[in-house]
């Protein structure tokens, strides 16, 4: 299927203008795609609505079969998908392969577990309603609009797409203008397996995303900046369309005095610099126990000096995908230095025209943007803490609250449980994202709602509760024929069931 075939039918609509997706490593054109307008997006949603009736009527097993076939196609062509991603984002091939592999694993999990999590099941009806059989089922919402980012253009949107499809919805996907080819590739391979517009792609700039928010979908799943997330939510509010917002973070990594320092250094560096730091749950802040601070710093500085960002396709760090991001990274580093911070590695000169070299900042005042705003570059800001109480307090003192990491041999779980964030990895970084049964998402400015796991399946459904009378009630309560005796018996029963805990503890 060609790119043009994949474009929604234009019908009477004038052929839209096109835009180029550029290779950030070289500046070359990686592909040219249509800018879909309001009418195109509405037409795609109308087609999805029809397809959702068929897709939603299939059994979980039938959907699992089809999604498993698609998974096989994606898996067999993983190198091709990774290459499209490499061209559009500049990320190293190995990183692109890892991202595809994780997305495939999530697709497999969602397809396999949807029935178990969502199909009608019995729940306890309680003593008062003992004559009722209570069941609940999670039904597909219908059509889900997915607005995706460019930093993980397969893994992140697939966290919504795979789970929404497995739950029985049709999807209209608007990829970032920096990675349209990846979105088209996913939809094309899907269409090879399923000959219905159950997964469609609309391409374009921000306006195409805005049009999707107004196109009458049943839910919007958005990943991107907090600012755009607010615009998406405001647009969706007009039609009371629910939204799922995954809006980035300022994740902290905590190093306790008993941590395996080599592992902590490795985790901090990879968490901060992998994907050139363009990771919503990447490490941006590091808090280290004072007893191991100096040793951690000397090790992390030595390790950071070993890696650099270059245009070599085998480089460990690729370019910054979105040119505008270079200014943000430069501003955060400059702000840290101006306010008295020091760069032990990198610094202002680390920000080039396409690439940013690893940068480690210390002695940075807490009000600096290097601590407070999402940098989205290969930088980490490190501070010494006197104990883990201080590390926990500083970690929690952020308007973002997405992921986090703790390195400690004996107290990892205790520290993790005190963190006010959506996710934590202990003695590892971002490991939670690869576990399909764990929910992924944040709170505060990091957004709300969850992808992945049972929560991620339920996110794209509505609950349908049924109470079926199995026998006549012992106490007839929901009738105008209710007697005084029945009311008295209810009073006794409620006192017996719940009265004991009602006195205040002395
Ligand atoms: P945006 O939030 O602008 O874009 C995210 C997605 O939303 C893209 O598909 C974008 O389309 C689309 N979009 C833009 N405007 C609208 C709108 N009004 N209505 C609906 N959809 C819209 O992120 P950027 O790509 O500009 O990145 C900016 C910052 O966001 C980065 O500096 C980074 O801090 C953060 N970010 C966080 C991510 C995360 O994973 N949490 C991912 C990406 C960015 P288009 O690309 O065509 O404009």
Q: What is the pLDDT of residues 474-489, one digit of tens each?
A: 889 999 999 999 999 9
- Tell me the CA distances in angstroms from 176 to 149, 232, 321, 354, 426, one per residue in order: 5, 14, 11, 19, 32
Structure tokens at 180: 């349209």
Give CA–CA dist 472/488, Å, rounded. Answer: 19
Q: Tokens representing 21?
A: 């997706």
Cβ contact 326:320 at 8 Å: yes
Both 458 and 324 in one domain: the answer is: no
* pLDDT, tens only, 345-357: 999 999 999 999 9
- For residues 244 and 288, membership in a common domain is answered with no
> Confidence class of residue 82 from pLDDT cuts 50, 70 and 90?
very high
Mean pLDDT, the chain, integer: 95
What's the pLDDT tens digit per position in 418-429? Answer: 999 999 999 999
SS3 state at 330: helix
- Best of 225, 247, 280 for a ligand 1 pocket test (most atoms within 8 Å of beta carbon): 225
- Name 236's Cβ contacts closer than 8 Å, sequence gap at least 6: 213, 220, 242, 243
CB of 40 closer than 8 Å to CB of 14: no
Residues 263 and 243 in one domain: no
Helix ranges (H only) for 214-309 are 226-237, 261-273, 293-304
Query: Which value, to the nearest 10 degrees, does the dihedral of the CA atoms of residues 238, 240, 243, 247 take?
Result: 40
**Shared-domain flag, residues 190 and 220:** yes
User: Ligand 1 pocket: which of 159, 205, 228 to mutate (most atoms <8 Å of CB)?
Assistant: 228
Pocket of ligand 1 (CB under 6 A): 147-151, 156, 174, 176-177, 205-206, 209-210, 213, 223-225, 228, 231-232, 246-248, 280, 322, 325, 328, 374, 376
Q: Determine the atom of ligand 1 nearest the C-alpha atom of 178.
A: 46
How much distance in Å is there from the Cα of 286 to the middle of ligand 1? 26
Buried b (16+ CB within 10 A) or exposed e, 104-143: bbbbbbbbebbeebbeeeeeebeeebebbeeeeebbbbbb
Distance (angstroms) between ligand 1 centre and the Cα of 213 equals: 14
pLDDT band at 7 (very low <50, low <70, confident <90, very high): very low
Q: What percent of the chain has pLDDT over 90?
A: 92
User: What share of the chain in percent tops pLDDT 70?
Assistant: 96
* Residue 9, in any domain of the structure: no
- Active-site residue flag, 280: yes
Tell whether 275 and 411 lie within a shared domain.
Answer: yes
Mutate to test the pocket of ligand 1, among 206, 210, 277 (most ligand atoms within 8 A of CB): 206
Higher-confidence position of 315 and 161: 161
- Residue 314, judged by CB atoms within 10 A of its CB (0-12, 13-18, 19+), counts as exposed
Q: What is the pLDDT of residues 207-255, one digit of tens each?
A: 999 999 999 999 999 999 999 999 999 999 999 999 999 998 999 999 9
Active site residue 353: no
State how many domains the chain has: 3
Residue 10 maps to a domain: no
Q: Look at 498 and 1; give whichever has higher pLDDT.
A: 498
pLDDT at 221: 98
Q: How many residues does the chain have?
A: 506
- In this structure, what CATH number is given to the domain that contains residue 137? 3.40.605.10
Q: What pTM was computed for the model?
A: 0.94
Same domain, 213 and 112: yes
* Burial of residue 455, with CB atoms counted within 10 A of its CB: 0-12 exposed, 13-18 middle, 19 or more buried: middle
Provide the residue range defining the domain that includes 495. 471-499
Residue 62 placed within a domain: yes
Q: Is residue 8 part of a domain?
A: no
Nearest CA to ligand 1 atom 21: 209
């Amino acid at each position: 299927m060609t790119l043009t075939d994949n474009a929604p039918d234009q019908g009477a609509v004038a052929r839209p203008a096109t835009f180029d997706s550029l290779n950030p490593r070289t500046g070359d054109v990686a592909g040219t795609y249509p800018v879909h307008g309001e009418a195109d997006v509405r037409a795609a949603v109308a087609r999805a609505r029809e397809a959702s009736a068929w897709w939603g009527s299939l059994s979980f097993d039938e959907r699992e079969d089809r999604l498993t076939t698609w998974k096989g196609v994606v898996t067999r062509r993983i190198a091709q998908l990774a290459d499209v991603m490499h061209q559009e984002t500049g990320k190293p091939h190995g990183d692109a392969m890892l991202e595809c592999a994780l997305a495939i694993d999530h697709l497999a999990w969602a397809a396999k577990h949807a029935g178990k999590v969502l199909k009608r099941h019995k729940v306890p009806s309680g003593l008062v309603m003992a004559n009722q059989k209570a069941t609940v089922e999670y039904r597909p919402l219908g059509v889900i609009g997915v607005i995706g980012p460019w930093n993980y253009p397969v893994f992140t949107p697939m966290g919504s797409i795979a789970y929404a499809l497995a739950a029985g919805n049709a999807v209209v996907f608007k990829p970032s203008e920096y990675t349209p080819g990846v979105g088209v590739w996913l939809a094309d391979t899907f269409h090879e397996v399923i000959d219905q517009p159950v997964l469609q792609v609309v391409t374009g700039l921000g306006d195409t995303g805005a049009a999707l928010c107004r196109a009458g979908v049943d839910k919007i799943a958005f990943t991107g900046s907090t600012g755009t997330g607010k615009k998406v939510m405001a647009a969706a509010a007009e039609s009371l369309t629910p939204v799922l917002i995954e809006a980035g973070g300022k994740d902290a990594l905590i190093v306790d005095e008993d941590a395996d320092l080599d592992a902590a250094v490795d985790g901090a560096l990879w968490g901060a610099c992998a994907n050139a730091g363009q990771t919503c749950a990447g490490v941006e802040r590091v808090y280290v126990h004072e007893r191991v601070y100096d040793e951690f710093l000397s090790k992390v500085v030595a390790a950071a000096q070993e890696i650099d960002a270059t245009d070599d396709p085998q480089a460990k760090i690729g370019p910054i995908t979105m040119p505008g991001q270079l200014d943000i990274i430069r501003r955060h580093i400059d702000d840290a230095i101006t306010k008295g911070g020091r760069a032990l590695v990198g610094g202002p000169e680390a920000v080039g025209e396409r690439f940013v070299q690893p940068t480690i900042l210390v002695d940075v005042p807490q009000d600096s943007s290097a601590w407070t705003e999402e940098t989205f570059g290969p930088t980490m800001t490190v501070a010494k803490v006197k104990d883990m109480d201080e590390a926990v307090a500083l970690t929690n003192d952020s308007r973002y609250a997405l992921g986090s990491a703790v390195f400690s041999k004996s107290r990892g779980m205790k520290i993790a449980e005190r963190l006010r964030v959506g996710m934590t990895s202990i003695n590892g970084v971002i490991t939670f994202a690869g576990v399909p049964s764990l929910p992924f998402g944040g709170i505060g400015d990091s957004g709300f709602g969850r992808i992945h796991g049972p929560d991620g399946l339920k996110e794209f459904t509505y609950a349908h509760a049924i109470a079926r009378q199995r026998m006549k009630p012992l106490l007839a309560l929901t009738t105008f024929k209710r007697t005084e005796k029945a009311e008295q018996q209810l009073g006794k029963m409620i006192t017996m069931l719940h009265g004991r805990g009602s006195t205040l503890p002395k």
